[in-house]
Amino acid sequence: MIHNHRTMGSEVRLALRRLAKEPALALAAVSTLALGIGACTAMFSIVEAVLLKSMDMAQPQRLVVMWPQFGDTRRWGSEGGTGR
């Protein structure tokens, strides 16, 4: 556990020295972080574009959600809309 700024500074220096001694480990760590951050950014961009941004519609109050009724898949229920 880090107790003060001096200890934290020495821990950071030690970590940097170890990474400098093992460039393959440093490359693997940086590559892993870059891939993870890139993948998260790409997934968020896709989810935002598909699900989160509002859809441009002339009459959004006319949207209807439909699902099968419990126990009877031949009948469908609706929520919202005019009920027709």
Q: Which residues of the chain have pLDDT under 70?
A: 1-3, 5, 54-55, 68-84
The pLDDT assigned to 43 comes to: 95
Classify residue 62: in a domain, yes or no: no
Domain total for the chain?
1
Structural domain of 47: 1-54
Classify residue 61: in a domain, yes or no: no
Q: State which amino acid sits at residue 22.
A: E
Classify residue 26: in a domain, yes or no: yes
Classify residue 71: in a domain, yes or no: no
Helices marked H in the chain — which ranges? 5-21, 23-47
Phi, psi of 48 (to 5 degrees): -65, -45
Record the pTM.
0.49
CA distance 41 to 73: 39
Nearest to 63 by CA among 39, 38, 82, 41: 82
Classify residue 47: in a domain, yes or no: yes
The pLDDT assigned to 22 comes to: 93
Q: Which residues of 52-73 are buried (b: 16+ CB within 10 A; e: fewer)?
A: eeeeeeeeeeeeeeeeeeeeee
